[in-house]
Amino acid sequence: MAPCRDREAFARFMPPHVLERIMSHGSARLQRCARMTLQADAQFRLRNASAPAARPADSSRPGEVARYIYTAGNQEALPGNLVREEGEPDSGDIAVDEAYRWLGATHLFYWQILQRDSIDGEGMALLGTVHYGEDYDNAFWNGAQMVFGDGDGELFNRFTVALDVVAHELTHGVIEREAGLVYADQSGALNESLADVFGALVKQHHFEQNVEEADWLIGEGLLTDRVNGLALRSMANPGSAYDDPVLGKDPQPGHMDDFVRTSSDNGGVHINSGIPNRAFYLAATGLGGFAWEKAGPVWFDALTDPRLERDGDFAQFARLTVDCAAKRFGADSEVMQVVNQAWIQVGVLS
């Protein structure tokens, strides 16, 4: 395993531009929820993310998961009160039990498919806190654990409802420990994309979906039926996930010709991630079958490659995936050719 590099910035699931849009187009209650979420996020970034003083034990056996689920009781203190730990039965609290189940599914994927033992590769205990804040419209990784809000109930459901959201946040921990990608500009968008890629792979693996059966949506089930949209992001067609009077239109580009230059959202990390997301979709569907069998391991090889720089851009990562595909499957392999072509199609390579 690569040495742990500097901690990444506070990585949240909900794009700030969505919350900002709600503040100008939502009802008075929704504006309050969005404002409180943005304020909570801003305040959290000012604190030092660190492991709990009495962190529970890691797994004692390779490949064995150790889950600890807490509730914040709609407060903002972490980790909160422990309500379910490894091996215990359902708690009866749907958010607690979803977090427990989905963390287990994510751990299983990383161990069975990528031979990685938890976030740090050494059996790190998985900590999740639910019921964070009041009507909190977000989920995040803070450098020590995963945290999930309940949503506002009008636009967004609880953030544990979607397996890929849980897997997305856990993957931020893997990215932090392996690549330490700077959470800004292209390296930040790559960071978000990788969290989406492995979030999608975990979901596909759990539900045994091939590339044709998969929906390629990130956060499907998170939006309520009041929203005109399917999810927060679409890997197949960035920019098509939602088009709603309150949320606005999905702004993600799928090609470098439409790359968004902005000073907000750390340089558009949640927006421009659509470009590498689509590259992965094109590679996976071009290869067919199960995405975790070929495209997934190539992306993971590139993520864990020591040549990936902390401020690596799309082009550097693309070249690494092509090189990793050649090493894993052969320099003249179909995998290498399809991966290379996928990056050409989104304008990253030529």
- Terminal-to-terminal C-alpha distance of the chain: 32
Measured CA to CA, the distance from residue 254 to residue 285 in angstroms comes to 16
Rounded Cα distance, 332 and 167, in Å: 33
Tokens 């309050």 correspond to: 32
Residue matched to tokens 């290869």: 287
Nearest residue to 198 via CA among 166, 157, 230, 222: 166
Helix, strand, coil fractions of the chain, as percent rounded to 5: 40, 10, 50
From residue 74, give the alpha-carbon distance in Å to each of 66, 102, 106, 118, 322.
24, 21, 25, 28, 46
Q: What token pair was written down for 44?
A: 């959290």
169 is catalytic: yes
Task: Say how many CA atoms lie within 13 Å of 313 toward its Cβ.
Answer: 7
Mark out the alpha helices in 241-273 (DSSP H runs). Answer: 265-268
Selecting among 154, 169, 176, 178, the annotated active-site residue is 169
Closest CA relative to residue 120, chosen from 187, 53, 66, 192: 66
Which residues have C-beta within 8 Å of that of residue 244, sequence separation ≥ 6?
A: 227, 228, 229
Place of tokens 């050494």: 122
The dihedrals phi and psi of 44, each to the nearest 5 degrees, come to -65, -35
For residue 79, is the peptide bond before it cis, meaning its omega torsion is within 30 degrees of 0? yes
From CA 17, how far away is CA 331, in angstroms rounded? 42
Judge whether 213 counts as a catalytic residue: no
257, HSE (Cβ side, Cα atoms, 13 Å): 5
Which residue among the candidates 107, 205, 206, 270 is catalytic per the annotation?
270
> Mind telling me the catalytic residues?
169, 270
